[in-house]
Amino acid sequence: MDYLAEYRRWCTGGVFDQATREELLSLTDEKEIEDRFYKELSFGTGGLRGIVGAGTNRMNFYTVGRATQGLADYINACVKEGSAVIAYDSRRMSKEFALDTACILAANGIKAYLFGSLRPTPELSFAVRFHGATAGIVITASHNPPAYNGYKVYWSDGGQIVPPHDKNIISRVGAVAYEDVRRIGEAEAKARGLLVLLGEETDRAYLDAVKSLSLSPEAVKALGGKMKIVYTPLHGTGNLPVRRVLKEIGFENVYVVPEQELPDPAFTTLTYPNPEDPAAFKLALALAREKDADLVLATDPDADRLGVYAKDRSGNYVRFSGNMSGLLIAEYVLSRRKEKGLLPAAGDGALVTTVVSSKMAYPIAEAYGLKVIETLTGFKYIGEQIHMFELARGKNGGRTDGKIGAYAYVFGFEESYGCLAGTYARDKDAVAAVMLLCEAAAYYAAQGLTLPEQMERMYRKYGYFSEDLCTETAAGAEGAERIRRAMQAIRRDPPEALGASRVIAVCDYLEEESGLPKSNVLRFTLENGWCCVRPSGTEPKIKFYIGASGDRAGAEERMKAVRKDLLRLTGFEV
């Protein structure tokens, strides 16, 4: 793309409004102009994600409008009377993009169900099926830095779009010019019955679905008035639903971090609104020490990821990685369901995870007679498995003899702080994860255990697994090229050993037939460990996932050595 020619077109073209032209004409840094126009903000397999601002490589009314028009064209090609549910988070321009999206859909004859205020992403996933909609859209950049926003698309099964819908929608979007986008006003859309606001009815149904997952009401009844929980929504959508569900099931002492309680598009108390980042817990941990809290919890802006600290026997707060919290909730859910006779027959149920998540999933699944199914990175693939299981099992939900993959979904998790314990939604749900984590804490406390002690008990039962994620940022056109070269180098000349660990096998998900969709991911199976390398799909980053098992000290040392070699081989060593 000739970025200067495209820049000039945006500065002078009649389709672009005066505010957009003025923003662009005020730019004096050519690198900034290049970054805004060196490519189009691509509608990927999940939607859009980018910095808010004017330009082809930015989130704005023109790029969002083009995406929505392409989606509308596809919906109308699939069904006669289409509809879509739209939700949004607390980020800059989220509400405006959501309303504009609704008005574009309405102009194309598609009924838009729009939440009247911010809602969590998992509630959007739930609402698509609850309202029988053709599609769903959530305006969010999840845990990205404050400058970002995004546009995620869901299909009628409540899951994020997967083949063939993703490729078909991408094709439609690519055929739309900015001039092709059709809009009507909000008042006209409402008058024609094509814009309907959602509220309490959907909220109540969603929260009831979350509460149906509860497995230890007796433990909550006994300890819900004693346990102390500090919670921060990180200025996002989790505040109201998380507090509401905890109160309704019986947790009475929930302290919300006041500085981070209300929506704030600038995320002024944070540099990075991500519960994976320990720095995001600074205020929450201070409040926890003041209140002597048992648990410290944080959800990301769209409330699909949960970060956890738990107090140990000495009064220190122990950080749980996404793998650890997911595994702890999985063990709690599976053990309680087994006690209650609610697990599928041996071999009939499945625990679904991703290729970059903890391998402790395997011994846990084996202990409860479940099949482990690994997907590519991204919870949309776990949601896809739920849909595939339902199709394979038939309308009555029972196993259909002779059908491959006819499993009952029991639990799914990924290392990036997300899990799902039911099938009411098809995306990770931090609202439900908070409820189950707090309930698990009460259940184990009744047995005299803290959550760190329960985690150690799991290590003794299943073996010690150490996993970590190393992320390196490379921004702009030069960064994208650096990441491309890094992947090319390690793909062309894969190592025979990493650290002191011999490489047993290499899987290139872009080139080999793995049974999964093609993806730019490399996976190395090591002696007593594994690692994966992939570019991020939502940020200018390359990610290194590393895991090791065995004795604790040995596993930690092997992991450090593998990390050092991976950074060296890809040119990202310091």
| 3-class SS of residue 573 | coil
Cα–Cα distances in angstroms (integers) from residue 88 to residues 115, 152, 235, 298, 541, in the given order = 8, 10, 13, 19, 25
Calpha distance 452→429 (Å, rounded): 23
Q: Read out DSSP for 442-456? A: HHHHTTT--HHHHHH
- Could you give phi then psi for residue 532, rounded to 5 degrees? -135, 150
The secondary structure of residue 235, as a DSSP letter, is: T
Contact 67, 135 (CB under 8 A): no
The secondary structure of residue 84, as a DSSP letter, is: E
Q: Please list, in sequence order, all residues whose beta carbon lies within 8 angstroms of the beta carbon of residue 566, skipping any fewer than 6 positions away.
A: 470, 490, 498, 531, 533, 544, 546
- To the query of whether residue 501 is one of the catalytic residues in this protein, the response is no
Q: Read out DSSP for 209-232? A: HHHTT---HHHHHHHTTT-EEEEE
Taking each helix axis from N to C end, the angle separating 200-211 and 239-249, rounded to the nearest 10 degrees, works out to 50
Q: Which amino acid is at 453?
A: E
The residues with which 113 forms a beta bridge, in sequence order, are 85, 196
125, 142, 325, 519: which is the annotated catalytic residue? 142
End-to-end CA distance of the chain: 33
For the beta carbon of residue 137, count every other beta carbon within 10 angstroms.
29
Prior bond of 164 cis (ω within 30°): yes
Q: Which amino acid is at 265?
A: P
Calpha distance 488→495 (Å, rounded): 13
Strands 501-508 and 497-498: antiparallel
| 3-class SS of residue 169 | helix
Calpha distance 390→331 (Å, rounded): 24
- Could you give phi then psi for residue 177, rounded to 5 degrees? -95, 155
The residues with which 255 forms a beta bridge, in sequence order, are 230
Structure tokens at 243: 């507090």
The secondary structure of residue 59, as a DSSP letter, is: B
Query: Active-site residue numbers?
Result: 142
